[in-house]
Chains A and B, each alone.
Chain A
Amino acid sequence: MENKSFLATLKKNAMLIVMVLVYLFFMVLTRGGIFKPSSFTELINQNAYVYILGTGMLMCMLTGGNIDLSCGAFVCLLGAFGGVFMIVRGMGVGVSILLLLAIGVIYGVFLGFLIAYIHIPPWIATLAGYLAFRGLGTSILSNNSKTGSLAPFPVKFQNIFYGRVFQTEKGIFNWPCFLFGILAAAAVVLVVFMTRKNRLAKGYEADTIRAAALKSGISSAAIILVMTKLSMDGGIPTTLLWVAGIVLIYSFITSKTTVGRHFYIVGGNMEAARLSGVNTRRIMFLAYLNMAILTAIATFTVVARSQSAYADVGKNFEMDAISACVVGGVSASGGAGSVLGMVIGATLIGIINLGMSLISLDANYQRVVKGFVLLAAVVFDILSKKRES
C-alpha cells in the first residue's frame, strides 16, 4: 500500500521530476553555469511571456482543445502600436498602457464573438489574425521608422515591466528580496498545514503529516533557493511579480470559482454543460477575450525587455504557449489541465532553452531537441493515461 501510493505520487509529479532531472543534467553540462544567480533572472525574464500567454492558452484549451494562433502576431501589432504611442507620439506611459489594453479588449471581443456566437472554428478565426497582424504591425513600423523598428521605450515603461524591486548593485545581497522569499515560503507552509487541519477537523480525507511536511518542505525550499539567487543578482525582477500575480490569480479562478469550473465542464462535455444550465457561449467568449488581454500584458514584458518593437517580435509565441500547456499536461481535447501544470511545462522548456544556449548548441539543433521534447511529453501523457484505464 505504502509502495503503491509512493508510485502514484511519483506519477502525479512526473513532469516535475523530469524538470529537476533535466536541470541537473544541464548543471553538469554547463559546469554549474545554469546555477548562477544571473541564470535564474534570465530564466524568469526570458520566459515571462510563455507563462502569461500559456495561462491564456490554457483557458482556451480547457474549453475543448481550442487554441489561439494569432497571439504571437498580435504581440507584434501591439508592440508597433506601443512604439507609435510612446516613442513617435511621446504619449504618457500610463495612457499608452491603457490604450494597448483597450485594443486588446476590442480584438478579444471581436474574436470571442466570432467564435462563440458565429461558431467559427477557433483555429480558423485566429488564423486570420496570425496572417494579418504581423503584416499590419510591420507596415506600421516601417511607416514610422527607417530601420523598421522603434526604440527605445521610455525608462519608466521599462522599469514597470523589466525592472527590479528595491534594486541593488550586482554582488550586494538584496535583503528585501530574501525576506520576501522567507515570507512566501512561510505562507506556503502555513497554507498547506491550515488546509490539512481544516479538512481533518471536518472529517475529510487529508494528507498524512509526512506528505504535508514533504510537500511544504520542497516548495518552500525551492522558493527560498530561487529568492536567494535573485538576492545575489539585484533583487526581484518586476516580470516575476507580473507572472506570479497572473499565475496565482488564474490558479484561483480555475480551481476555486464557478466560472473556472465552467471552463472544465464545457471542455469535458459541451452538451452536458449546456443541459446543466451553463452558458457555454459565454465561456467560449470569455476564453478568447481573456486571451487577448493577457496577450497585451505579455507584449509589455516582451517589448520592455527588448526595449524595442520590431517586425519579428512575437514570432512563434503561440507555439511556445501551446507547447508549455501540452508539456504541462493540459489535455489537447480539453477539460483537463491546471495552471500549475502549465507553469511546470513552461519552466521545463525554459530550462532546456537556457541550458542549450549556455552550451551554445546550434540553433537548428535546439529546434530539433524542442520538437522531440514536445512529442515525448505527449506520448508519455497518453501512455500513462492509457495504463490507468
Chain B
Amino acid sequence: MAKILLEMKNITKTFPGVKALDNVNLQVEEGEIHALVGENGAGKSTLMNVLSGIYPHGTYEGDIIYDGQVCKFSNIKDSEKLGIVIIHQELALVPEMTIGENMYLGNECGHKFAIDWNKTYSEADKYLKMVGLQESSKIQVKTIGTGKQQLVEIAKALAKKAKLLILDEPTSSLNEEDSRALLDLMLSFKKQGMTMIIITHKLNEVSYVADKITVIRDGSTIETIDNHGAEPVSEERIIKGMVGREMTNRFPKRENVRIGDVKMEISHWTVHHPLYPEKKVVDDVSMYVRQGEVVGIYGLMGAGRTELAMSIFGQSYGVNFSGELKLDGKPIKMRKSEADAIKHKIAYVTEDRKGNGLVLSQSIKVNTSLANLDAISNNMVIDGDREYAVAEEYRDKLKIKTPSVEQLVGNLSGGNQQKVLLAKWMFAEPDILLLDEPTRGIDVGAKYEIYCIINDLAAAGKCVVLISSELPEVLGMSDRIYIMNEARIVGEMKAEEATQENIMAAILRSGRGV
C-alpha cells in the first residue's frame, strides 16, 4: 500500500444552525486521483475549505494529517506553503492583467520591494508549457478562452509548487473537448507523481480519471469506493450512495388540484451568455406550464435554470435571444424589460434574495409594495395608509414574524426574508411565478411554510415553476418535472414516474460522451 499523503479525521464543522460536516473522514494516498462526489450542499466544498485553511484551525473539530504531520492552518497561505493548492470552481483570474501577473498574484517573485518581471515571465512560460499552453505569459487573460483560462489556473497552482492539487468542478465551464484535454492533463500529472482531489458532478469523468471515489451525503462520508476493483464501478452504484436518504413527510399535501389549460409555453428558447456571446446558457429549450400546476425544474448548479427563468422574465439575463414565448396560446413579443414582464403577469422570485431580491436597508412595507407601487398610489402619489394595510395583510397571510412592518428587512431571519420576497411578488398579482430556489438557506420549519404557500398559489390557479437543486423538494412538490443539464432540457417526467434514481440517470446520460 502506498503512503497516505493526507488524512482528514473526524472533521466536524458547524455553522450557526447547521451541521455542515459531521465526522467526515477522508484518506488520500500519494500519487492518486481521488474523486469527491455528492449532491449540492452535501459538504464537499466545505470540506475542501477546511483543508485549505479558509476555515482556520479552531473553527472546526477533528484533525488534518498531511505528510505525517498534524496541521493547524490559520489561513490559505499556510496550506499553500505545504503544497496544498485549491483551484476553485469560479475562475479567480483578473481579466485585465497578463497571464504572468495572474499566476504570481499574491505570490510575486523578486525582492522584497521590487518584482522581478523577467523572472516572473520566464517562470510563467515554463509552467504554461507544462499544461500544454503555447501562449506567451505576457498577453492579457481576457484575450484567451475559458478552457485556456482553466489551464492558466492549473499553471498558477503548479507555480505554487503544488504537491496536492484540489480541483473543484474544473470542467463545469468547459466544453467537451476542453474537458477531455483537462482530464488527460490530470492523468499525465499523475504519472509524474502528483496527488489530486477532484470534485465533480459528472460521474463519467469520475470513472475516467479517479482511482478512488469518496461519496459524501448530508455532511457525512458514506463510503469510499476503489475504482480499480474486480468489477467496474457502475454509475448506479455511485448514485445510490449520493441520494440514498429516506424521504420523510417533509411536504404538505396538495389539495384542490385542478390543472387547467396551458398558460405559458416556450419553444426553441435559446439564450447566450452576456459576456461570452458564443456560449449558450439556454439551449433550444421547449416547455410549458398549465394553470394550477406546479412544474419543477431540477438541475445541478450551473445547469442553466436561473438563466432560463430570468430570460423568460423580460429577458433580464443574457443576449441574442431566440425562440417563441406564448401566453394563453398567443405568441408574445416581449421587450427587454422587466416592467413588461410584470405587465404580462410574470414574476421571477430570485434565488439570491439578499443580492438582487430585497432592499435590506428598507422596511418590510417598502419591500412588499415595491413591484406593484402603482396599485397603492394615485397619480404617482403613494397612499401611505393603503401601503401599510397591504403590508399588514401579507404579513398575516404569510406569517412573517416581525413586531412591525416598519422593521428593516435586513434585520429579519432568512426564512422571513424569503417570505417578504414572496409577498412582494404575490402582491404584484402574477399568473406565472418563477420561483428560483425558494427555500435556499432557510430552516426546515420555514421551508414547510413556503411549501404551503406554493400549494396555495397553485390551488388559486396560478402557474408555479419551481426551480430547485434539491431533489426531494422537486419530487415532493411538483406535478411534473423537467430535468435540465448543461443548458438543455434532458428529461420530462410526471411526478408519479419520477424517482431520485431516474432523474440522476437522465442527467448522467446527457453528460456522457466526454
List the interface of chain A (C-beta within 8 A of B). 198-199, 202, 204-205, 256-259, 261, 264-265, 268-269, 271-279, 331, 335-336, 389
Contact = CB atoms under 8 A, between A and B. Distances in A.
Contacts of A258: 373-374, 377, 380-382
Nearest to A277: B339
A286 to B, nearest CB: 13
Nearest to B338: A277
A171 B326 CA distance: 78
Nearest to A336: B361
Most buried by B among A258, A265, A273, A276: A276
A331 B377 CA distance: 27
A274 B370 CA distance: 11
Contacts, number: 82
Interface string B339-364: 10110000010100001111111100
B373 A261 contact: yes
B355 A271 contact: yes
A271 B356 contact: yes
B104 interface: no
Given A256-B384, A275-B348, A269 B373 contact: no
Contact of A274 (B316, B382, B389, B406): B316
A257 B371 contact: no
B404 A265 contact: no
A259 B381 CA distance: 9
Interface in B401-435: 404, 406, 410-411, 424
Contacts of A335: 359, 361-362
24 contacts: A198-B385, A202-B385, A204-B385, A205-B406, A256-B382, A257-B381, A257-B382, A258-B373, A264-B366, A265-B370, A268-B359, A269-B361, A271-B356, A272-B358, A272-B370, A274-B356, A275-B338, A275-B350, A275-B356, A276-B338, A277-B314, A277-B371, A278-B370, A279-B339
Nearest to A259: B380
B388 A204 contact: yes
Given A202-B389, A258-B377, A273-B370, 4 more contacts: A256-B384, A258-B382, A269-B356, A277-B371
Contacts of B424: 276
Contacts of A265: 359, 362, 366, 370
A256 B359 contact: no
Contacts of A331: 361
A273 B313 CA distance: 14
A331 B361 CA distance: 11
Interface of B: 313-314, 316, 337-339, 341-342, 348, 350, 355-362, 366, 370-371, 373-374, 377, 380-382, 384-385, 388-389, 404, 406, 410-411, 424
B361 A268 contact: yes
A56 B354 CA distance: 29
Contacts of B362: 264-265, 268, 335
Nearest to B314: A277
Contacts of B341: 277
A272 B356 contact: yes
Contacts of A269: 356, 358-361
A257, A265, A268 — most chain B CB neighbours (10 Å): A268
A275 B359 contact: no
B473 to A, nearest CB: 23
Nearest to A264: B362
Given A264-B362, A277-B342, A205 B385 contact: no
Contacts of B381: 256-258
A264 B384 CA distance: 16
A276 B370 contact: yes
A378 to B, nearest CB: 17
Contacts of A204: 385, 388
B338 to A, nearest CB: 5
A268 B382 contact: no
Most buried by A among B313, B342, B356, B374: B356
A259 B374 CA distance: 11
B373 to A, nearest CB: 5
Given A256-B381, A276-B370, A277-B338, A205 B404 contact: yes
Contacts of A275: 313, 316, 338, 348, 350, 356-357
A348 B358 CA distance: 34
Contacts of A198: 385
Nearest to B317: A275
Contacts of A272: 356-359, 370
A94 B139 CA distance: 61
Contacts of B389: 202
A33 B378 CA distance: 49
A198 B314 CA distance: 40
A258 B378 CA distance: 10
Nearest to B349: A275
Contacts of B385: 198-199, 202, 204
A339 B45 CA distance: 48
A132 B338 CA distance: 38
Nearest to A201: B385
Contacts of A257: 377, 380-382
Interface centre among B348, B357, B424 (most CB of A within 10 A): B357
A276 B356 CA distance: 9
Given A256-B382, A268-B360, A261 B374 contact: no
Nearest to A333: B361
Contacts of B313: 275
Nearest to A269: B359
A-B pairs, top 10 by smallest CB distance, nearest first, are A271-B356, A268-B359, A277-B339, A276-B371, A269-B359, A277-B342, A258-B373, A277-B338, A276-B370, A268-B361
A4 to B, nearest CB: 14
Nearest to B342: A277
Of B339, B410, B424, the most chain A CB neighbours within 10 A belong to: B339
A274 B342 CA distance: 12
Contacts of B411: 389
Given A205-B404, A271-B355, A277-B371, A261 B361 contact: no
